[in-house]
Structure 1
Amino acid sequence: MPRFSIVVPCFRVQGFLRECLDSVLGQSFTDFEVIAVDDRSPDGSGAILDEYAARDPRVTALHLPENVGLGRARNAGLPHAGGDYLLFLDSDDTLTPGTLQAIADRLAETADPDVLVFDYARTYWWGGMRRNALAHVLADCADGTFTAAERPEILDLLMVVWNKAYRRDFVDRHGFTFPPGYYEDTPWTFPVMLSAGRIATLDRICLNYRQRRQGNILSTTSRKHFDVHDQYERVFAYLDDHPELADWRPYLHRKMGEHCLDVLAKPDRLPPGDKREFFLRTAELFRAHWPAGGTRVTGETRLLTWPYTVYRAARQAESVRRAAQRRALRVRGAAAGRAKDAWFALHARRPLDPHLVLYSAFSHRGVLGDPGAIYRKAREIAPHLRGVWVVADEEVAARLPEDVEYVLLDSPGHRRLAARAGFFVNNVNWPGRPAKRPGSVHIHTHLGTPLKYMAADLRDKPGARFQVDVPQMLRRADRWDYSLVANRYSERVWERAYPCHFTSVRSGSPRNDVLVGAAPGAGAAFRERHGIPREHTVVLYAPTRRDHRRGGLVERIDPARLAADLGEGHTLVVRLHPSLAAGPARGLGLTELARRGVVVDATDEPHVEEVMLASDMLLTDYSALMFDYANLDRPIVVHADDWEVYTASRGAYFDITAEPPGHVTRSYDELVRLFASGRWRDAEAERLRGAFRDRFCEFDDGRAAERVVRTLLLGERMPEPAAVPAQAPAPAGHNLLTFS
């Protein structure tokens, strides 16, 4: 008996069917069967099913003599299913890699619940991807099992059949089947969820829900949408047959009204001449199933108690109100912009404050990176300087230490300080407004040593330049007075990428001061916070984004597989690129793996320096983190299995595979062998790392933040970094600040 039976109904999907089946048959977990049902499809879908069934014994192809529709096609597959659990997969959707293993692990962890609800992401025909907006419900309900009555928010999720795994004996015992019709998921999902004695969740994107360009069947204009009324009649009939569920009647009464009104409000669902009839039928159903004892009607469902003419007038009035609101916002926005400019011009008449330093980091995310290191050093050696942080919102402000002064971006306080600040310190560009005042000093710290092309060098890389306004970027960089560099290589790159009039400062990277000569126990706090045993070897995996993929995510390594292959005595810490932190990347498995303790997810750790200090080695592809990590003189492995694709799409200033900071692997098997053999920390790795560190960490002497504060903020003199040759020439046509 297989663990899973996956029922796949097929009708007119020959363009998507192979991708769907491949996503199942290519799963790392193999204890499953596929029951594929050809619903008398007029295209080549049936032949494709026969092809797959002939070459893989896990696939059974059924051919129906007539077209019966999605629900009854699923029913046709049920008698052939022998697995412990049932899954239903629409034949234009796909499973994400590792899904079945993740589901199997979660079922084992929760002792085989009746229903397991998992997450999905909408994938669009143009390449976009958007995670379920209510994914947080899955995380909130992740503690053990529950019933719908105990966690009713589980019913707020999309009520569809394909985001769940069902224990087969639970389905058989209750006799659940699918009715015919357009909305066949409704009378299946509500009875299943309300009857389940034990429900569990899996906070992981297990399915890609394909959004076709012309929409799915439910987005077509047709009278078939009247079917939603019949399906809710079936739901209420189920309640009538199960008195123990009577308390759910008010909830389902409201849900029915909201669902039907949503269908009616969509402009592409019903023919215009049928909308009045649909409304009247919905109102009739709403009255017929009014809960005994009455219920308070709130929200949208109040419309169903009004005549259709009143409903239609209310909808039109709402449409007019929203259009007027949009126009008013545009007018107010333009007026506010003019007012801000005038307000800044007024305050700009006041003299600059030479003791006021305005800081920001990572697009106003807090006291972080190089600006954070400079700020802390300034408080130590120049307490008379007033340092104020510009933060994006109150959520960021709440995370700041209590003694840190801040202003919200674009607030009156921010504009007032920006008009008078003598110094500005940032690792990304400041907003375009307000303009820089003469006499103010802008210090740009950058985000690290660059490997990939930046700024003006992106002009021949249209994929990487997508939605990047390079001319605007350079106009903002024209405000820089000083550009901090950790090595002469960066100095040359920034001169080329940003053809602006700034002075390079061979200061070193302030954020790396804590890495230079770090004590052995410097990362102990991170290990203790995440429960990492002292004796474990900590592998930090830090992949970067890919510009040739929309959204930037390319899964080159499966963290669960890598954690398993590393074996006992190892802890895998994963830190995604910041641009992937809020997207679907973590929902594709990382969050769930971290919850189960398979890996440590350090993506949200505010101070990456602490994460580096807590690790014993770095595994990366092309992340700039390797240049910082080299200061620790700990092993680095570069996994470059798509280097040619990466450089073709983004561009690189040098070949990291030819001048690496350690061993380079080109395949996952090669990577595992490298770890198993211990060569990742051999003499050759040490030699490569030493050469890399000499080149890219040459100005990092542990005093970079002090050097910036004393020379740029206080105007004092300070010795140059010891690694700099006494007569190192400056690049032609470019200013260079030298130290005495």
Structure 2
Amino acid sequence: MPRFSVIVTAYKVHAYLQDCLESVRTQTCDDLELIVVDDGSPDACGEIVDECAARDPRVVPVRLTAHAGAGPARNAGLARATGDYVIFLDGRDTLVPGALQALSDRLKETDSPDVLVHDHAASHPTGGTVRTACVATLSEEAAPDALTFLLRATDKAYRREFVEGLGLTFPPGGFSDVAWTYPVLMTAASIVTLDQVCAVERQLPLHARPSAHPSAHLDVFDAYDRVFAFLTGRPEEARWRPVVHRRMLDHLALLAATARPRAAFFRRARAAHLRHRAPGTTAGHPLLRHGAHRTYAVLRAARALRARVRRTTTAVRRAVRAVALRLHYAVQRRLPLRADRAAFATYGPGGDPAAIERKVRELAPGIRTSWLTDPGSFAYWTALARSAYLTSNTLFDARLVKRPGQTLLQTHRGTPLGSVGLDLADRPAVPADLPRLLRDAARWDYTLSANRHATLTHEKAYPSAATTLEYGHPRHDTLHAPADVPALRESLGIPEGFTTVLYAPAHRDHRRAQTPSLDLERLARSLGPRHVVLTRVAPAAPHPRIMDVSGHPSAEVLCLVSDALITDHAPLMFDYAHLDRPIVLLHADRQVFDAVRGTTMDLRAFPPGAVARTEDELIDIFTTGHWRGSRSTQLRTAFRARFCPYADAGAAERVVRRVFLTRSS
């Protein structure tokens, strides 16, 4: 008897079914049977299932002779299930890596509950995944709360003996999840939660979604009739009737805006309200209770008209403000420059501009500083027009008219390893705004550089008459200044005495979604229980010793708290080298990176430490201690000598004295 029976229903999903099945077959917890129901699909779903079953004896194919719908297809899979717990997936869904192991651990520690509820996520067609974090707000003792939002069958694991004892099945038609989920949650003796995404639902663009029959919304009434019939047959559950009635009216109110045919929907909503209400129940939308679909339509049209008027008014207001801002900027440019004003802009938080701004306030208190953050404000355009100093690590505003006497300082964002600027002109990763980049470079007075390599690369990639200040990067000053590292580690939740490894791969221009190219869970297991992995790319699944720091605002803080760095082509290695701590490179896809973006140098000639070509080699480097051995130390020393000539805390002061104090004095 397997621990899990994973039931997958497949109908017209052959483009996605392989991913679904592989996500189950490759789970670290392999105590499972995978029951795949071909719901009379006219495409290649049946062939994919047969091929998968031929390779894996855990796969149980079930084929229906005609399309029956998701409910009957799940029933067919349930009839074949033998596992302790049953999990349902649709053919476009996937399990996240480690999901079954996390479910198994939770079931074990909670003494085999009837139902385990977990979170799921929606994968959008344009990229990105959004978690529906409902479990975190659900009290396991408050089942009525569960009935408020947990109406899907695919975000739970069900004890098979429990659902078989209920004699529960899925009905045909739409909203079969409603008719299944309410009885399950109302009668379960124990419901526990797992605050973790275990399944991902692939959402399709609207034009690609299967078309439902014209009166599909009316199926919701049959589903609720089945729920109330279930309650009628179980008098001991009568306390649930007012709860379900309120939830039904809330659900119908959500559907009312798109329901067709609307008149029939409202008539049936009123009939359902009268048929199922408990004495004294008045909850829900009054128009639904009374079946007033024409009044509802009028009110909805009035709301739409008000919204349209608000949008038009807002658009006019924005246009007037835009004209006013342009006029304001033109007037400000005719007023004298303020030699005691400096404005700063930055890509993301912190960086070199922030370090310079702090040093300006310290060394030149007579210069007033400001930040360029809101192009829709008059203060923004005043600062842009009248500040004598403008500093940025990204593009300056394209509408900036550089005035005589204004000084523009471009700090860049670090030592470039991947190609930038003009060097990208014949690469797939060429930026769409390359002409604007070159126009921007023509306005620079100074650019910052940390070493000779960066100087030569930037001057070639961004032709400009600007003076290069090879002073080091001011943001590196914090890496050389005294810091309370234990307090920083504690603020991130890193246990005392643990070795911390920072994983920071380069951005992949050829990928819309940035995912780890390294199995972080395997790495954490290999490193051992006294290690923590910090990752700058969101992990596929939560893990107690993998900390997602992709949203942390300070790369410098992450460098300070870590004992070693794993990267591939990320410029962060040049920053991290200032700490003289181990760096390990993983060059598993070097050829792809070279083809898409290209590099400014062959890093294999002078790497900052040990280099791995595969994940296996990387793990071997750590398990054998090579990551901090003598050879790695020699490589790092040579790398630091070449790329970290200003390994001190004085870069910001050098910049301020050269750019701000020279002229102001």
TM-score normalised by structure 2 residue count: 0.91
Q: Helix, strand or coil: the match of 1:61?
A: strand
Post-superposition Cα deviations, 1:44-76, rounded to whole Å, max 9, x if no partner, equal 433432332233111112233444321111111
Q: 1:130 and 2:140 equivalent?
A: no
CA 687–245 in structure 1, closer or farther in 2 if over 3 Å, else same: same
Distance in structure 2 (CA, Å) of the matches to 1:202 and 1:650: 39
**TM-fit CA distance, 1:421:** 1.9
CA contact (8 A) 2:444 2:465 kept: yes
Structure 1 residue identity aligned to 2:89: L
Distance in structure 2 (CA, Å) of the matches to 1:499 and 1:323: 49
CA contact (8 A) 2:256 2:262 kept: no
Distance in structure 2 (CA, Å) of the matches to 1:481 and 1:109: 64
Q: 1:349 aligns with which of 296, 313, 334?
A: 334
Distance in structure 1 (CA, Å) of the matches to 2:26 and 2:518: 15
Post-superposition Cα deviations, 1:565-595, rounded to whole Å, max 9, x if no partner, equal 101332222233xxxxxxxx45x32xx32xx
Equivalent residue number for residue 519 of structure 2: 558
Deviates more, 1:252-261 or 1:338-347: 252-261
**TM-fit CA distance, 1:512:** 0.7
Structure 2 residue identity aligned to 1:169: E
CA contact (8 A) 1:110 1:145 kept: no
Q: 2:361 aligns with which of 357, 369, 379?
A: 379
Q: 1:423 and 2:416 equivalent?
A: no
Deviates more, 1:76-85 or 1:197-206: 197-206
Residue correspondence of structure 1 range 105-504 to structure 2 within 5 A: 105-108=105-108, 110-113=110-113, 114-124=115-125, 128-132=127-131, 134-135=132-133, 137-141=134-138, 145-149=140-144, 151=145, 155-156=148-149, 159-196=151-188, 197-204=190-197, 206-211=199-204, 214-217=207-210, 219-240=211-232, 241=234, 242-264=237-259, 270=260, 274-297=261-284, 302=287, 305=290, 307-363=292-348, 365=349, 368-391=350-373, 410-463=376-429, 465=431, 468-504=432-468
Distance in structure 2 (CA, Å) of the matches to 1:534 and 1:117: 31
CA 310–109 in structure 1, closer or farther in 2 if over 3 Å, else same: same
Post-superposition Cα deviations, 1:441-462, rounded to whole Å, max 9, x if no partner, equal 2222222111122234333334
**TM-fit CA distance, 1:120:** 1.7
Q: Helix, strand or coil: the match of 1:29?
A: coil
Structure 1 residue identity aligned to 2:200: L
CA contact (8 A) 1:641 1:667 kept: yes
CA contact (8 A) 2:110 2:192 kept: no
CA contact (8 A) 2:246 2:284 kept: no
CA contact (8 A) 2:245 2:273 kept: no
Distance in structure 1 (CA, Å) of the matches to 2:305 and 2:618: 61
Distance in structure 1 (CA, Å) of the matches to 2:442 and 2:29: 55
Q: 1:544 and 2:543 equivalent?
A: no
Structure 1 residue identity aligned to 2:193: A
CA contact (8 A) 1:443 1:482 kept: yes
Equivalent residue number for residue 532 of structure 2: 571
Q: Helix, strand or coil: the match of 2:90?
A: coil
CA contact (8 A) 2:103 2:194 kept: no
Q: How many residues are treated as equivalent by the alignment? A: 660
Equivalent residue number for residue 528 of structure 1: 490
CA contact (8 A) 2:415 2:571 kept: yes
Q: Helix, strand or coil: the match of 1:254?
A: helix
CA contact (8 A) 1:619 1:636 kept: yes
CA 29–475 in structure 1, closer or farther in 2 if over 3 Å, else same: farther
Q: Helix, strand or coil: the match of 2:603?
A: coil
CA 109–526 in structure 1, closer or farther in 2 if over 3 Å, else same: farther
Post-superposition Cα deviations, 1:69-92, rounded to whole Å, max 9, x if no partner, equal 211111111132222221111123
Distance in structure 2 (CA, Å) of the matches to 1:710 and 1:304: 75
Structure 2 residue identity aligned to 1:121: A
CA 703–185 in structure 1, closer or farther in 2 if over 3 Å, else same: same
Post-superposition Cα deviations, 1:459-507, rounded to whole Å, max 9, x if no partner, equal 3334563xx4333344444443221110121122222332344221111
CA contact (8 A) 1:710 1:716 kept: no
Q: Helix, strand or coil: the match of 1:246?
A: helix
Distance in structure 2 (CA, Å) of the matches to 1:44 and 1:523: 57
Q: Helix, strand or coil: the match of 1:432?
A: coil
CA contact (8 A) 1:103 1:202 kept: no
Q: Helix, strand or coil: the match of 1:504?
A: strand
Distance in structure 1 (CA, Å) of the matches to 2:556 and 2:224: 56
CA contact (8 A) 1:424 1:441 kept: yes
Equivalent residue number for residue 547 of structure 2: 600
Deviates more, 1:676-685 or 1:350-359: 350-359
Deviates more, 1:320-329 or 1:240-249: 320-329
Distance in structure 2 (CA, Å) of the matches to 1:431 and 1:194: 59
**TM-fit CA distance, 1:627:** 0.6
Structure 1 residue identity aligned to 2:83: G
Structure 2: gaps of 5 or more residues: none
CA contact (8 A) 1:253 1:290 kept: no
**TM-fit CA distance, 1:561:** 1.7
CA 252–303 in structure 1, closer or farther in 2 if over 3 Å, else same: closer
Structure 1 residue identity aligned to 2:248: H
Distance in structure 2 (CA, Å) of the matches to 1:678 and 1:320: 69
Structure 1: gaps of 5 or more residues: 265-269, 392-407, 577-584, 719-740
Distance in structure 1 (CA, Å) of the matches to 2:332 and 2:291: 56
Distance in structure 1 (CA, Å) of the matches to 2:430 and 2:153: 38
CA 88–225 in structure 1, closer or farther in 2 if over 3 Å, else same: same
**TM-fit CA distance, 1:34:** 0.6
CA 310–155 in structure 1, closer or farther in 2 if over 3 Å, else same: closer
**TM-fit CA distance, 1:661:** 1.1
CA 8–296 in structure 1, closer or farther in 2 if over 3 Å, else same: closer
Structure 1 residue identity aligned to 2:637: G
Equivalent residue number for residue 12 of structure 1: 12
CA 389–463 in structure 1, closer or farther in 2 if over 3 Å, else same: closer
Distance in structure 2 (CA, Å) of the matches to 1:61 and 1:220: 27
CA 598–701 in structure 1, closer or farther in 2 if over 3 Å, else same: closer
Distance in structure 1 (CA, Å) of the matches to 2:441 and 2:122: 38
Distance in structure 2 (CA, Å) of the matches to 1:121 and 1:684: 46
CA 438–193 in structure 1, closer or farther in 2 if over 3 Å, else same: farther
Distance in structure 2 (CA, Å) of the matches to 1:256 and 1:303: 11
Distance in structure 2 (CA, Å) of the matches to 1:420 and 1:717: 15
CA contact (8 A) 1:506 1:699 kept: no
Structure 1 residue identity aligned to 2:380: H
Distance in structure 1 (CA, Å) of the matches to 2:266 and 2:569: 57
Q: Helix, strand or coil: the match of 1:647?
A: helix
Equivalent residue number for residue 477 of structure 2: 513
Equivalent residue number for residue 86 of structure 1: 86
Distance in structure 2 (CA, Å) of the matches to 1:109 and 1:624: 44
CA 717–224 in structure 1, closer or farther in 2 if over 3 Å, else same: closer
Q: Helix, strand or coil: the match of 2:76?
A: helix
Q: Helix, strand or coil: the match of 2:199?
A: strand
**TM-fit CA distance, 1:239:** 4.3
CA 480–239 in structure 1, closer or farther in 2 if over 3 Å, else same: farther
CA contact (8 A) 1:148 1:155 kept: no
